[in-house]
Chains A and B, each alone.
Chain A
Amino acid sequence: MSIMSYTGGTVVAMAGDECVCIASDLRIGEQMTTVATDQKKVHKVSDKVYVGLAGFQSDARTVLEKIMFRKNLYELRENRRIKPQVLSEMISNLAYQHRFGSYFTEPLVAGLDDTNKPYICCMDTIGCVSSPRDFVAIGTGQHYLLGVCENYWRENMKPDELFEATAQSILSCLERDAASGWGAVVYTITKDKVNVATIKTRMD
């Protein structure tokens, strides 16, 4: 079994019309054993910028601390809020600095920039960014998610439609992915508020 699926976990993000949705499962395991059932893989970085870290969660914690450190330094030095584009570049740099001994975590960034344009991106363990306009998925349920999202994503979805599409996608994925599950958390980021919803899935 690969180190990337040792703890399990899935993160997905979808872009809509002046809104983005980012969702993750809540399980952490040690291969087949479930260890915790309340661990979000999505973290708040700034008001409208969130980061998801799938893969080996021990590394994900370390990477999150490094991301927060660099982001805080940026905001102090520049005296302005970080944009999701800048954050993804920053994480990509951080990941590539460890090119020959990488952190076993795949980062995902979702957020709105200062014009409220949605931005989503995901990268591999060494920081190769891909930033499509529709949706991104990382983690053990990636294959399940890409198939479902392909069918549910539509152009210019409003926040409630976007939430429904994201929630249905991750729910369908968790039904089949044994390494993720135990509920899901969905963040809907709009220009004036962030809505957090915890959804029940099958609990096994």
Chain B
Amino acid sequence: MACFNGITASADATNQMHSFKQAMREVSAKPDWLSARHIERQRWNPYSMEGGSTCAISGDNFAIVASDTRMTANDINILTRDAEKIQVLNDSIILTTSGFYGDVLQLTKVLQSRLHKYRFDYRADMSVDLCAELLSRNLYYRRFFPYYTGAILAGIDEHGKGAVFSYDPIGCIERLGYSASGAAEPMIIPFLDCQIGHVTLDEGYEKPALTMERAISLMKDSFRGAAEREISTGDKIHLVIAEAGKPIVQKFLPLRED
């Protein structure tokens, strides 16, 4: 009998504990001092991610930039198959961004108007080094409500050499030989490390020179590899080629559409 009472008592205690925990959950999810408006505001998120990837490679006298043209919502819904993520800002500067497409558009617009004003003031196009610094400051200006984008700025510098600048969302800048950003960044970067950076090659081995043809075919390979595995990358490669002393060339190449 005592044993039977013990069981009822413990079942009772368990029930009490359950209802206590339930009450705790409710009060922490919806405390009295938060109005419905407050709760809604906490839930609201100003950012979204539209996927896609971009990549840039620089050489002795050229810089090539590529991105895919797919735009997705929640990684699986394709919104459009020809969203452009590359902007040619002037004859020697190319900007490519991925991440939150709203911020991509806004950032492009801001930079374009700053370049327009520079041209008006100084009667000359801005150089890529100046533009790189300008972009970094524009990004850091929004330190506490950043543009949610991974930007890459590429072009031909004042010495006729290829240049690639890579950024994080708040304007940390680095000049690199090659860079990638976006959803397929972890798939593209190690491949370029191996093929362009030659990090897996021991000292004393001959390292093939980076010609423009080689850079273009590596770019195609990395996007085809990425499109094979990464679902928000695909549809088309938008390829932009800048060579010192020549006009910028733009191409579209087919990519997987599934």
Check if A175 is an interface residue, CB within 8 A of chain B: yes
Closest Cβ of chain B to A123, distance in Å, is 18
Interfacial residues of chain B within 213-232, with CB under 8 A of chain A in the complex: 221-222, 224-226, 228-229
Q: Is the CB of B199 within 8 A of A147?
A: no
| Distance from B237 Cβ to chain A, minimum over Cβ atoms (Å) | 15
Interface residues of B in 174-192 (CB under 8 A from A): 184, 186-191
List A131-181 residues whose CB lies under 8 Å from chain B.
143-148, 150-151, 167-168, 171-173, 175-176
What is the CA–CA distance of A151 and B194 in the complex, to the nearest angstrom? Answer: 11
Known A171-B200, A172-B200; judge A151-B186 contact (CB<8 A): no
Q: Is B133 an interface residue (CB 8 A)?
A: no
A173 and B192 alpha carbons, distance in the complex (Å): 11
Tally B residues with Cβ within 8 Å of A. 18
- Count class of interface residues, chain A: 10 to 19
A147→B191 contact, CB < 8 A: yes
A175 / chain B contacts, CB cutoff of 8 Å: 190, 193-194, 199-200
**Is the CB–CB distance between A143 and B186 below 8 Å?**
yes
The complex places the Cα of A146 from the Cα of B187 at a distance, in Å, of 7
Chain B residues within 8 Å of A151, by CB = 191, 221-222, 225
Besides the known contacts A148-B225, A172-B191, A172-B193, 20 further A-B residue pairs in the complex with CB atoms under 8 A apart: A144-B190, A145-B190, A146-B187, A147-B184, A147-B186, A147-B189, A147-B190, A147-B229, A148-B187, A150-B187, A150-B224, A151-B191, A151-B221, A168-B194, A168-B200, A171-B200, A172-B200, A173-B190, A175-B193, A176-B190
- A-binding residues in B (CB < 8 A): 184, 186-191, 193-194, 199-200, 221-222, 224-226, 228-229
